[in-house]
């Protein structure tokens, strides 16, 4: 079985690539290296002793995408490649629509030419729910106007996939709405590699703990939550990687040529920013320098998943603890800085 992994050198893509190789799949990693590093390929090799095929392709380039589909035959596609900075998307919305939606459209044009229904997994985000009215969030909740062009681009991608399904074209699709992925591979050879100043909480925490950043700012402590800070559903990256294997197996084994499913991927448990900081401090025996600051524009107050659909239908749930995730995130940061 040969699987195309777009964005396969990125944070979620690299961890999933490792598991795919370990499960015996052949993979073709496509990445434009715009927010990833070619060294990740060597580290995937160090972990798995397997070197995947690699193509440096910008998926906005229609000709390059056509050539990719001429050069290889794919049994499945996992489409991670996307820009993901909320801040940047506010300043450069066009970049987000042309890249995130445009790339998907180019892939879909190729899918339409295939004889057999392709197995397709799409990376979406809980951002499509906006601030949900109730918790936990299940998949039937309405999709709200996104707070950012990034969120809007994910929503549009979901709509593009739904249109393809509704048009009657045979393809098997699972869309995964990720909650907040954190942590790193247990080897500490791959993990999250933020460019510049991290926007996300856990990389900011680890960079503060190692001394790259002076102080973490907690964005607001006057929300209507137990301790006043925002609540999220933090999922270990290894659990998140694993769910792609489960979904791929489901798609491959299904006889339904127009299977179309959407699943939340989270732990089902909400954790506040302060709780997360304290767990990080405890498990790693570190005192973190942090202060309370202003709210960040566009943040939802609370978001955690109702995970019953994926549990019932795919018998899948998370295995790793938050403690474990925060330990692995710290080990990764230590490993990144060991030569400095
Ligand atoms: C963000 C994106 C979301 C995207 C996800 C990808 C926003 C509004 N949303 O989610 O669309 O899918 O990343 O991982 O950016 N925090 C601090 N201090 C910091 C950084 C974060 O207090 O320096 C807080 C935030 O206010 C939030 C929590 O930590 O309450 C998590 O933030 P973050 O890691 O950026 O994730 P999300 O905002 O949930």
List the chain domain ranges.
Answer: 2-181+235-265, 201-231+268-335
Q: For residue 195, what pLDDT is reported?
A: 87
Q: Provide the CATH topology of domain 2-181+235-265.
A: Rossmann fold (3.40.50)
Nearest atom within ligand 1 for CA of residue 178? 12
Q: For residue 298, what pLDDT is reported?
A: 87
Residues 8-39 as b/e (b if ≥16 CB within 10 A, e otherwise) read bbbbbbbbbbbbbbeeebebbbbbbeebbeee
For residue 120, report the distance from its CA to the centre of ligand 1, in Å: 27
Instruction: Give the residue ranges of the chain where pLDDT is below 50.
Output: none
Q: For residue 45, what pLDDT is reported?
A: 98
Rounded distance between C-alpha atoms, residue 126 and residue 235, angstroms = 12
Decide: 231 in ligand 1 pocket, CB within 6 A. Answer: no
Cβ pair 3, 79 in contact under 8 A: no
Please list the residues that pair with 3 across neighbouring strands.
27, 76
Q: Is the dihedral of CA 226, 229, 230, 235 positive or negative?
A: negative
Decide: 151 in ligand 1 pocket, CB within 6 A. Answer: yes
Q: For residue 210, what pLDDT is reported?
A: 97
Q: For residue 112, what pLDDT is reported?
A: 95
Decide: 230 in ligand 1 pocket, CB within 6 A. Answer: yes
Where are the extended beta strands (E) located within the chain?
2-6, 26-31, 53-56, 76-79, 119-125, 172-178, 180-182, 216-219, 231-232, 234-236, 260-265, 271-272, 290-293
Rounded distance between C-alpha atoms, residue 41 and residue 21, angstroms = 12
Rounded distance between C-alpha atoms, residue 82 and residue 6, angstroms = 9
Nearest atom within ligand 1 for CA of residue 125? 12
Cα-based angle 120, 126, 127 (whole degrees, multiple of 5) = 115
Q: Provide the CATH topology of domain 201-231+268-335.
A: UDP-galactose 4-epimerase; domain 1 (3.90.25)
For residue 90, report the distance from its CA to the centre of ligand 1, in Å: 15
pTM for the model stands at 0.97
Decide: 125 in ligand 1 pocket, CB within 6 A. Answer: yes
Rounded distance between C-alpha atoms, residue 69 and residue 47, angstroms = 28
Protein residue with least CA distance to atom 26, ligand 1 = 219
């Amino acid at each position: 079985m040969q699987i195309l992994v777009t964005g396969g050198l990125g944070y979620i893509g690299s961890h999933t690539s490792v598991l795919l190789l370990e499960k015996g799949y052949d993979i073709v990693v496509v990445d434009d290296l715009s927010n990833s590093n070619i060294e990740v390929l060597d580290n995937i090799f160090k972990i798995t002793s397997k070197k995947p095929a690699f193509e440096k392709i910008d998926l906005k380039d229609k000709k390059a995408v056509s050539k990719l589909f001429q050069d290889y035959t794919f049994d499945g596609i996992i489409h991670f490649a996307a820009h993901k900075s909320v801040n940047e998307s506010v300043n450069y919305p066009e970049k987000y629509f042309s890249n995130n939606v445009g790339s998907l459209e180019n892939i879909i044009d190729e899918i339409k030419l295939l004889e057999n229904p392709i197995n397709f997994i799409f990376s979406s985000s809980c951002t499509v729910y906006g601030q949900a009215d109730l918790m936990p969030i299940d998949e039937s909740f309405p999709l709200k106007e996104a707070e950012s062009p990034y969120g809007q681009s994910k929503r549009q991608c979901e709509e593009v996939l739904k249109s393809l399904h509704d048009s009657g074209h045979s393809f098997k699709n699972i869309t995964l709405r990720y909650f907040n992925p954190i942590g790193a591979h247990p080897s500490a050879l791959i993990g999250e590699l933020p460019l510049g100043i991290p926007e996300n909480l856990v990389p900011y925490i680890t960079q503060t703990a190692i001394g790259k950043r002076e102080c973490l700012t907690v964005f607001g402590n006057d929300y209507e939550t137990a301790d006043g800070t925002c609540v999220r559903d933090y999922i270990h990256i290894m659990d998140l990687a694993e769910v792609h294997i489960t979904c791929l197996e489901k798609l491959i084994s299904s006889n339904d040529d127009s299977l179309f499913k959407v699943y939340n991927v989270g732990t089902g448990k909400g954790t506040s920013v302060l709780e997360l900081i304290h767990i990080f401090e405890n498990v790693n025996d570190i005192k973190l320098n942090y202060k309370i600051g202003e709210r960040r524009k566009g943040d939802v107050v609370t978001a955690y998943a109702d995970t019953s659909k994926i549990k019932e239908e795919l018998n899948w749930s998370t295995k790793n603890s938050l403690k474990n995730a925060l330990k692995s995130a710290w080990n990764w940061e230590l490993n990144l800085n060991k030569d400095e």
